[in-house]
Amino acid sequence: MIAVAIDEDVDKVRAFTDGITYPVLIDADHLLTELYAISNVPTVLLIDEDDRIAHPNWSAFATDTFREITGIDSAAQLAAIRAWVLEGTIPIDPDDARDAVGDLSSEEEQAKLWFRIGVHLHHAGDDEQAGTAFDTAAALAPHDWTVRRAMLPLRGGDPFGQGYLDLAAEYNAAGRPYHGVASARNA
C-alpha cells in the first residue's frame, strides 16, 4: 500500500496519517497527475508484481462515509481488491482498462503546468500573479479537481466550502468527466 498526497501542505497531510505504517508520500508538484492522468482524488490504482497496471484510475473509497454523496458502494470495490490480492483475480478486462482513463488533452496538460506556476508564485509571495496563473489553469481544465479544488486553499478559499459546492455543480452539469473508472453508482 502506497499513499500519495497530491498536496504541498505537509502539515495538513500529516494530520491524516496517525497510526499509518505504510509509506505516505508527498507529491507537491502533482507529478502523478501527469504520469497517470489523475484528475481527482481519491484515485486508486492496482499495480502488479511486474509493474503492470491491473486496474487503472479508480474512484474508490475504502468506507461508505461518502456513499450518500457519491453513490459508490465500497464493499464491491474492497471485494474486488481483496480477490486480486489473495487470489490474483483480474479486477478489470485489460481492454476495458485501456479505454478507461483517456489521455490528457493539451489544455489539461497545460493547466497542470499553470497550476504549478501559480503555486510557485504563491510561495514567492506574489498572490496577484499567482491568481492570474491559477485563473489560466482553471479555464484550461475546469473539471480537473487536482487543479481547481487544490488551488482553493492557496487562494484563501475553503476547499470544503462554497467554492467546492460551485465546482461540484459545474462538474455535475458537465456530466462528471473523470479520467478513470468512476465505479458503479447506486444513486
Partner 1 sequence: MTDEPILLADGPLVELDRLDATIGWTLKPQGLCRDETCVIVPDRSALERDGLIDVTAVAALLDRPSVVDGGSGIAAIGAPRAARRGALVDLVAPDFVLPDLDGTPHALSDHRSKKRLLVAFSSW
Among 72, 141, 144, 146, binds partner 1 (CB under 8 A): 146
Alpha-carbon distances of 165 from 148, 149, 160, rounded to whole Å:
12, 10, 8
- Looking up cell 470495490 gives 77
Of 26 and 73, CB closest to partner 1: 26
Name which of residues 1 to 40 contact partner 1 (CB under 8 A): 1-7, 9-10, 12-17, 23-27, 29-38
Footprint (CB under 8 A) of partner 1, residues 71-130 = 81, 84-85, 94, 97-98, 101-104, 106, 109-110, 112-114, 116-117, 120-121, 126, 129
Least Cβ distance, residue 186 to partner 1 (angstroms) = 22
Shortest reach from residue 12's CB to partner 1, in Å: 4
Shortest Å distance, C-beta 37 to partner 1: 6
Question: C-alpha cell of 51?
Answer: 509493474
Which of 18, 49, 68, 87 forms a contact with partner 1 (CB under 8 A)?
49
**How many angstroms separate the CA atoms of 125 and 17, rounded?**
29
Which long-range contacts (C-beta less than 8 Å, at least 24 apart) are formed by 60-67? 60/183, 67/186
Cβ atoms of residues 72 and 187 within 8 Å: no
DSSP-derived secondary structure for 114-149: HHHHHHHHHHTT-HHHHHHHHHHHHHH-TT-HHHHT
Residue 46 vs 182, nearer CB to partner 1: 46
- 59 near partner 1, judged by CB under 8 A: no
